[in-house]
Structure 1
Amino acid sequence: MPESPIFMRLTPAISTERTLPGKPAPVVTLRSTPAAGTLHAVAAQPTARVLSIKTKERKTEPSVPLELSNPAMAKKIGKIQFSSLDLIAPALEGDTRDKLTVPVSPIAEPADTTIFEDPADPAIKYYLPRYRVRIHSGHYEIGFNAMPEGTWRLNIGLEPYPAPELGLGIQGVFELPHDIAVFFRYAAGPSHTIGRTVNFSEIIKEDKGLKVAVILTVPERDALLFALQTPAALPALVTRRAIRLAIPIANPGTQPNAPGRVRDHRSLAQNAALAARFIRIRPNPQPQPKPAGRYSTVQRALDDMTDPEPFVLDPLLHPYLYESAAAGGRSGEAEFRRVILAYPKDTPDARFYTYLQDMVEPWIFYYLPDRFKLSRREQLPFLPQMVVRLGTADGEIEKTMVTIDYLAEPWLNTARLKAAGLSLQSEIPVTARQSNAELRPLQAKASLRMWLPGPGGAALVEQKDVTVDLANGFVHSLTLPLDSFRQLYAAAYSSDATSLFSGEMQVETGLSTPESIHVGIRFSDTQGEILTFEEQPFDSGDTIAVKMLNGTESPLHIDSLPVSVRRGETEVPATIEGLTFVPALELESGTEVRFFVRPQGTLPGDGTLDAVFDTSGVKIRPDPEKILPLISDTSVPAEYERQIEVMTVPELLGEADDPASIILINVEFKGGNSLKLSRSQLSGIVQVRLPLMDLLLNRDVQGKYHYRQQIIRRNGTQTADTTWREADFGILVVPGL
């Protein structure tokens, strides 16, 4: 987000301040360090102020969680569920109702049309209100006031009301405590493709509802007024309501749409007429259901667009608004200027990057990410944020479809942003209100194109219905035939150069041709943490004892690990003792190593030491056989069954009165099933269990299976195989030689 929303806690009691944790995109500013007298680019993370009760003031966390910064995207990510991983011990999810301290939702995806219950007394009900602009004497309560310092204060009065869908069910129901943020959102630029927000920094609770206000410069005011009378700008007054509540955890049960009998028509050269074989998906053994009545405590945010939608106020119908701002000048459209910088500067490998200068606030420059990568979970284990689902509609394996859901996040070269901040300093007019450059993530209209398998080979295909947040990423869903999935999955873990499962993000700014950002879905090049570090002071000196853990599912190749040590604002280089990277360290999944870090310079003061590791050179060695089971939906079976006809003929059994003739053949298949044949039963059908992973990883070329035979003769002698035989026939004739 270019700017973080500012939240107020709505409850019936006195409030104190607190903040919400999270991880927004960085906002980079330039500031002067008095000690050195030089300019430095620093990450100035935006914070969210929250008015709350029942909490004491606590330290500000410099970020806003995705649940509050982009509720729609957070909801999509929440649907990406993972299998359990052996790195961590399985734990019982959630809490029983008697342990809850927050209101309870009857459904997993609550809305403002939901009635909530008190955790201790189900008879006490709550609802989440919506908000609308108050009307007084036929006018919206919205207007500007001139401020002494030459700025303008925009004031809006809001009133709460229940969702009309609740009807009479709202009687006797209490208002649900919630955080609220209010902001204008509109599209700027010559083609109305660049997103801008105006956050209301003052939120005051009144008897009639809320009064919200924001201080604007004249150019900021004029840009907003222009948007409010321009339908193409799609202005919206958004109330974002954040709630903390408990949602029910569904008990796992029999998958409702379990794949049925699947026919495989792949031909076998041995006997095409008899080679047809049948595959039936075999579900995993059903897990024991979780105890009923368990809940997960979550944070959710719900957006509501205040009427009118879009929030267009025609000057002829609402002259009072424009008259209140008339003393300061006339409204004008927001303008942007395109600035192109090379990085690394003056080197053969330099690439060109675009920055958009906001001409309303010319010290603000909007940047684009370097690329988009497959994201990893923020908690252990650091699995790729991808889920694979398998399904078939009509029972034929050729028509089996695989759905891939994944999250891609932007990757930023912070050194590039730091260098850009210094270079862009000279682009700020001397008349600007602020002389320090500030870099913010751009929000603009964007479309995704991906290289996917097609009938004629790989093709660059535009992906419809993908909502892109340039600051946070996007969730993408692909549904493909089985063979196409195999190709994409192979590309995701392969080290070979291939265009499959990569693409480009086309960003429309309206200033020139679209900006292109590379998208690459590779397990070896992901966005997110891969190592954890636990640090403890060692002895009484400045040495730090470190425990490093590979938190991923794949081995890591580490041939160097640059480190520095920081205390307060001072940071010095450091060395690692007790661990060598010659030869390179191969760290297996879930494995930890211990070593010491010693600073190579003086760190004044007596505060806590912090070791800072540069993991950019650590290489992931993806293991496709480990990754796929972990990212597969839990409803995907671990095995499939191939139907085999086993037969013999009297000539192979010998003469009936011959003492050496065969009276019984027992055929045992690897995986469990067996079949007995005799002169009275010359054939039978058996279901052979085979790993489904063979199909997904393209190892099942002809459905190979393993068996062994036991032969019993009339004279009492027995012979039995000591090793497994291999075959791929749909009809197996025994006894084999």
Structure 2
Amino acid sequence: MGHADDFGLSTGRRFDDVLRHPPRPPLVRGLPPHVPIDLGSVSFPRLPDPRLPKVLPKKTLPRWAGGRTPWDDIVVWLPLGTALTRGELRVPVSPSRTPSDADVYENPDGTARMALPRYALAFDRVGTADEPRIAVGARDGVDTLLITLVRAPSPADGSGVGMLPHAVSVSLKYRLPVIEGGEVVHEVVFPTTTQNGATVTAELPLTAPGLREQLLAALASLSASASLTVGRGITVGVPTGTQAPNGEPGYEEQSLRLDCTVPPNPLVISTAQRDRLGGAGGAVAPFRRLRIPFGGRGHSYWQDPVWPHRFFFVPDRFRLARSATGPALRVRAADAANEADIKVTLEFFARAVTDPLRLEQARPALEQQARAGGSLLPVEVSVLPEAQPVLRLALPADGAPASSLTERPGALIDLELGLTHAETLRYDDFRLVYEALFGASLSLLRGEVRIGAGGDHAEDLPLELRLETMAGDALTLALDELRPDRIAATLTNATESPARIEWLSASALLGDREIPLRIDCLPPGHRLEPGGHLPVALVPAETLPEAGPDRIVLDQAGVVGEPDRQAVWNRVFDHTATPQLARSVQVEALPALFTASDRPTDRVAAFVVVVENGGTVRLTEAELKATTTVRVPIKPLLTGAPLPSLRYRTETWWQSGGVGVSAWRETPATILLPVKTAPQA
């Protein structure tokens, strides 16, 4: 399998700010300044004037659902440029492309060695038993759950090995039953962690009615399978597998969050400790699952038993993402001894997609359910913190479609942001999968993300890997002039492929009001080439204030991409490597070639055939055949193009001592015949 870190991701969990966002590592990150990007023929609009309103996509979720687009201000990073040398790094260096706490890290000059510690639960002797150091104390007058951890040795510890700098986050996970059947994994994040030497204290305010009882019931129940997870945030230099411009091994700086489960697992406290901490002695309160139809399909919502006004949902589907530099795909091949041995790694990032209208239509039913649970607070929804979603794919094998979906345990899945995955395929299967990306048979590339895979009520979310239906807008809108009755703007196709504008709509936001904007100067069905610009005018349905609107929302649901095969290939193929295919070439001579009618007193002693990018063979009358190996680029073969012709030259060695040298000859054949040449004068 390929490495997900080549896609700007890692098998370790990335973190932006572990203390500020401890529970959910972003799967994508901003483009580092040291990586140049070749944008080819695509031109982008100028930077927006900060005095003008910001242009937002239409897909923003309702405010009560978080009020954000899952990929706002997020850039999918595909490393397309120059790697750093080890000497250019300013962070510790990982020995592997998938950093772990089993690795020994070094500073760039190799003078210090470091390891990433693990953490264990602290225990105290209470009477005749050891109890985990879990307490309830007051913090600013608020009852707070306190859990104490201690630093534990790293598997990589040894003589002269120090501690790798890292940040720490803590979360508690436990299983909750669902009244309607099955169970879900619930995760509670401790918003505060403090470190004092080798001791870490995690704090969780118990502000909600019933939260103390719920958590203590989970900690005292074996069936809840409670566990503590420590996230360790690190920034390290990771090998890229490519070379820096000076030929040295290449590196990139990555920020990761490496999780470890704290022993003991499961974490179970005694009934006596639960009672001392204020537990009521009851069972864990179950979630309630609602099914609300939308778009011809039922969608699940899970109600929190402690906060009845809080509901959880899962996205509608996952779609192949559009990044700032093209489809969020990466194709990489490795050297191969022959065509049968060609292996191609296909990596992709798919965004989680949720229709905001679905949540709006579900809101009355959710409010009714919240009121029935005794809550008068406004309804809130958020993405289900499922701990173990599973990717299932159906990929071709030996050129035939798969009959069933199989689990891919190596996928990185975040139900709020998306998923990344890498598959290594045989050449013939890769060709079928790649064609399916352009809309070929759906049976060749099917997938889904399964939620609650361990229960009887699994939820399957479609995975759509098609270039014509990518998640992410194709057009950008730059505002040129702002007037109360008219806004001059420029549309730009910021993708590598043409975009056809079937329809486009816009609106201006003034506080909570949304004012429609008519788009003038936009011909129906207009086709915008890559990098193409189109001046348009936005006319408001009512006069805008002199200061202009707060935001402008652009709905691009009617923009259809027309994938350009060559442009897409130029963007997704990993040009930092030049994989080679070893071709076996046969060189043969006929006995008659060793004589010449125009040189009756002379004979050919040997033919020496030199094959470009290959070896040299020598043929004599005693040895009329020889084999050599030629290395040719694999890249043309991956696109279905024929392999390049072979170029070879023949030196004719005559018994008289003369040598004739032929011109270079090209042929698509793999059986070469020497070219007899008279000695040079």
Stretch deviating more after TM superposition (433-442 or 162-171): 162-171
Amino acid at match of 1:313: I
Which residue of 229, 238, 246 maps to 1:289? 246
Contact persistence 1:5–1:181 (CA under 8 A)? no
Name the SS for the 1:418 alignment partner: helix
Alignment of 1:478-493 (within 5 A): 478-493=423-438
Of 594, 619, 624, 2:560 maps to: 619
Q: Please say if residues 192 and 232 of structure 1, whose CA atoms lie closer than 8 Å, have aligned partners that are also in contact.
A: no
Q: 1:135 aligns with which of 105, 121, 124?
A: 124
Give the conservation status (yes or no) of the 8 Å contact 1:403–1:480: yes
1:631 paired to 2:572: yes
Letter of the 1:515 partner, please give it: E
The answer to whether structure 1 residue 180 and structure 2 residue 148 are counterparts is no
Bigger CA drift: 509-518 or 107-116? 107-116
* 1:312 alignment partner, SS class: coil
In the aligned structure 1, how far is the partner of 2:545 from the partner of 2:567? 47
2:177 matched to which residue of 1? 189
What amino acid sits opposite 2:494 in the alignment? N
The question of 1:381 aligning with 2:325 is answered yes
Counterpart of 2:242 in 1: which secondary structure? coil
Please say if 1:470 is aligned against 2:415.
yes
CA distance in 2, matches of 1:399, 1:415: 49
Q: Secondary structure at the residue paired with 2:327?
A: coil
Select 1:42's aligned residue among 53, 63, 77: 63
- Aligned counterpart for 1:561 among listed residues 498, 504, 509: 504
Q: Distance in 1 between matches of 2:140 and 2:240?
A: 58
2:467 corresponds to which residue? 523
CA distance in 2, matches of 1:169, 1:7: 32
Distance in 2, Cα, partners of 1:205 & 1:691 = 54
Relative distance call for 1:104 and 1:682 in structure 2 (3 A) is: closer
Matched, 1:334 2:278: no
Q: Please list, as runs of the form range in 1=range in 2, the aligned pairs for 1:704-723 lying within 5 A after superposition.
A: 705=645
Aligned equivalents of 2:630 and 2:106: distance in 1? 51
Displacement of 1:194: 1.0
**Among 413, 421, 438, the residue aligned to 2:380:** 438
Higher mean displacement: 355-364 or 644-653: 644-653
Map 1:403-482 → 2, pairs under 5 A: 403-430=345-372, 432-444=374-386, 445-454=388-397, 457-466=401-410, 468-482=413-427
Q: Which amino acid aligns with 2:508?
A: V
Using the alignment, how far apart are the partners of 1:121 and 1:683 within structure 2?
Answer: 53
2:156 is the alignment partner of 1:156: no
- Could you tell which deviates more after superposition, 535-544 or 335-344? 535-544
* C-alpha spacing 1:164/1:653, structure 2 compared with 1 (3 Å): closer
Cα distance in 1 for partners of 2:16, 2:674 equals: 75
Distance in 2 (CA, whole Å) between partners of 1:205 and 1:639 is: 52
Alignment partner of 1:598 is 2:541: no
d(CA) in 1 for partners of 2:125, 2:588: 89
- Tell me the secondary structure at the aligned position of residue 308 of structure 1: coil
Unpaired runs of at least 5, structure 1: 10-16, 26-39, 48-60, 68-76, 85-89, 254-286, 345-349, 711-719
Structure 2 CA distance for partners of 1:117 and 1:602, relative to 1, 3 Å: farther
| Counterpart AA for 1:572 | I
Q: Which residue in 2 is equivalent to 1:30?
A: none
Structure 1 residues 430 and 135, CA gap change in structure 2 (3 angstroms): same
CA distance, structure 1, for counterparts of residue 364 and residue 396 of structure 2 = 43
**Aligned-pair CA distance for 1:572:** 1.9
Letter in 1 for 2:558: G
1:606 partner amino acid = A
**Quick one: which amino acid aligns to residue 300 of structure 2?**
T
CA distance in 1, matches of 2:483, 2:24: 33
Distance 1:65 1:362 in 2: 31
Q: Does the 8 A contact of 1:375 with 1:528 survive in 2?
A: yes
| Cα offset, 1:728, TM superposition | 4.8
Deviation at 1:516, TM superposition (A): 2.3
Give the 3 Å change call, closer, same or farther, for CA 343–219 of structure 1 in structure 2.
same
Q: How does 1:686-705 map to 2 (within 5 A)?
A: 692-700=634-642, 705=645
TM-score (ref. length: structure 2): 0.71
What's the offset of the Cα at 1:531?
Answer: 3.9
Once the two structures are TM-superposed, the CA of residue 517 in structure 1 deviates from its matched residue by 1.9
Q: For 1:500, which of 435, 440, 444 is the aligned residue?
A: 444
1:343 aligns with 2:287: no
Q: Which residue of 2 is the match for residue 324 of structure 1?
A: 277
Name the CA distance, whole Å, in 2 between partners of 1:654 and 1:121.
Answer: 66
1:323/1:246 Cα in 2 relative to 1: closer, same or farther (>3 Å)? closer
Deviation at 1:460, TM superposition (A): 1.3
Match of 1:227 among 169, 194, 218: 218
TM-score (norm: length of structure 1) = 0.66
Distance 1:634 1:476 in 2: 20
Asked whether the 8 Å contact 2:489–2:538 carries over to 1, the reply is no
Contact 2:15 2:25 in 1 (8 A): no
Distance in 2, matches of 1:19 and 1:597, equals 44
Mark the runs of 5 or more structure 2 residues left unpaired by the alignment: 1-13, 29-60, 651-661, 677-681
Q: What is the deviation of 1:709?
A: 12
Distance 2:320 2:397 in 1: 22
8 Å contact kept, 2:611–2:630: yes
1:669-718 per-residue CA deviation (whole Å, 9 max, x = no partner) reads 99999999999999887877765344323444xx68488999xxxxxxxx
Percent pairwise identity = 20
For the residue of structure 1 that corresponds to 2:145, the secondary structure is: strand
* Aligned residue pair count: 608
CA spacing shift, 1:523–1:91, aligned 2, 3 Å: same
